[in-house]
Chains A and B, each alone.
Chain A
Amino acid sequence: MGKTLTLFLATTPYSGENAHTALRLAEAALAKGHRVALFASGDGVHAFQVQQGAQGIPNAEAGFRELLERGLQVELCGTCLRFRGLTPELLLPGAAPSSLQRLCRLVEESDAFLTLGG
């Protein structure tokens, strides 16, 4: 039976490799039939902005857009979005504004919980 993996992403997509690591882990876990949730907090919410023009390095928008279509559950800290002026039209479809309360529920529901932070 598949397990539930939650990834907690808290860094910007291009300041290091955390976003790419999250993409690869999520892709691998989804391929094995596990349920995968990603909660983006702090500057991690920037990975889910639309119109990212990264070239020559993995494009976070393209990667997460594909995984959303394959069943990745993405939640974005609502407070962090407001701090950064990220309104819904600026975000990838399917990446849902969320809350600390929902994060705590994910902690409870997960078999494994991994932080990818700065």
Chain B
Amino acid sequence: MAKALCIVLRRPPYGGIHAAEAVRHLNGGVANGLETTLLLVSDGVYLARAAQAAASGWTSLSDVLVQVLRYRGRLPDGSENQAWVYAHGPSLAARGLGEGDLLSGVEVVDDDGAALLLAGSHATLVY
């Protein structure tokens, strides 16, 4: 059975390197046979906002996240693997965001859902 990695992102994109690192590790986990989940909480939910137009010289993290959501890897048993991205509902609501503001493929979870994701993971990376 594949090991599960949950990446928790608490920080917004562009103000620091945390969001870019979270996305990079999400991609790496999927590509290397881990069931990998990205859980966006607090300001991390801004990463999932659609249509980010980054300034010249900066990578648009929404564009990168779209590519990662499309990527398909393999688990050790040969079955298909993909990245799962969840946005914490209460964090979105506190910031005036709703599901309609998010990239396609990002699912909204409540507190219970977030707790289940974390409890079901073998390892957690926190950014």
Is residue B5 contacting chain A, with contact meaning CB distance below 8 A?
A: yes
Q: A36-54 toward B: CB 8 Å interface, digit per residue (1/0)?
A: 0000011000000000000
Asked if residues B34 and A104 are in contact (CB atoms below 8 Å), the reply is yes
B74 within 8 A of A: no
Interface size class of A (residues with CB under 8 A): 10 to 19
Chain B interface, number of residues (Cβ within 8 angstroms) = 19
The verdict on A14 contacting chain B, using a C-beta distance below 8 Å, is no
Chain A: minimal CB distance from B76 (Å): 9
A8–B29 Cα distance when bound, in Å, is 15
The closest CB in chain B to the CB of A42 belongs to B21
Contact with A along B28-71 (1 / 0, CB 8 A): 11011110000000000000000000000000000000000000
Query: If A41-B21, A42-B21, A118-B18 touch, does A103 touch B3 (CB 8 Å cutoff)?
Result: no
* C-alpha gap A100/B123 in the complex (Å): 14
* Given A10-B21, A79-B24, A100-B29: 11 more A-B contacts, CB < 8 Å: A42-B21, A100-B24, A101-B28, A103-B25, A104-B32, A107-B3, A107-B34, A107-B122, A113-B124, A115-B125, A115-B126
